[in-house]
Every structure is written in C-alpha cells, then in structure tokens.
Amino acid sequence: KAGVTQTPRYLIKTRGQQVTLSCSPISGHRSVSWYQQTPGQGLQFLFEYFSETQRNKGNFPGRFSGRQFSNSRSEMNVSTLELGDSALYLCASSLVSNYQGGGETQYFGPGTRLLVL
C-alpha cells in the first residue's frame, strides 16, 4: 500500500505570495491532519479534515486554510506569506478522525519544505 504523498517537496516563495500544498492520504484513510514544524516551535497542529469537513483546528491565523476533497486528498493554503512561515509542513493520514474518539495512529508523509524569502 502506498504511503502518504505530499507535493511539492520543496518550495521557495517570497513574502506576500500565497502557496498551496497537496497531500494524498493512504488509500482508505479518511482523515488528514496538517502540521507545521519549525526549529523554534517544534511540531504544531494546524487542522484536521475528515469527510471533507474541518474537525479540529490549532492556533494559527486565518491565513492558513485547508480543504479536503471527496477522495480524501487534502490541500492547505497559506496566503500573504511571512518569513516566519518558513517551515516543514507535514501531512498525516489516519483511518478515522481523532474527533471521533482519539488515539488514532497517524501516518506521515515526507513533508513539504517551504522557504519564504
């Protein structure tokens, strides 16, 4: 079974631009979560989608948004990029949503490394 895939793997943008990252979950997984990882803040939860609905959200500004399609693929968008948005963005999939009871094992993709200049 193929793992979680993320595209693109690397991205360079300038301040003020917007960016869209894509994530394809493991086949059969319906939940997709997004995380931001930086050296200073570590791993931070962005949001989780299940059945095309956002189920859970972390403490990030509205510039960070996402969506999930009927095939469970997900995209996240960051508008008006700031230097501080430079990070590794990780996508994780699980069979069902943690919203439904917690404890689901999440399987991660290789991440997208975003550099904002």
Site residues (CB under 8 A) for other proteins? 42-43, 45, 55-56, 58, 88, 90, 92, 98-99, 101-111, 113
CB of 79 to other proteins, least distance (A): 24
Task: Give dist(CA 17, CA 90) in Å, integer.
Answer: 20
With beta carbons less than 8 A apart as the criterion, state whether 34 and 94 touch: no
Q: Both tokens of residue 45?
A: 């939860």
Collapsing DSSP states into helix, strand and coil, what is residue 72?
A: coil
Task: Give dist(CA 108, CA 90) in Å, integer.
Answer: 7
CB of 110 to other proteins, least distance (A): 4
CB of 55 to other proteins, least distance (A): 7
CA dihedral 3→104→90→79, nearest 10 degrees, is 120
Nearer to other proteins, 72 or 93 (CB): 93
Nearer to other proteins, 79 or 99 (CB): 99
Nearer to other proteins, 38 or 80 (CB): 38
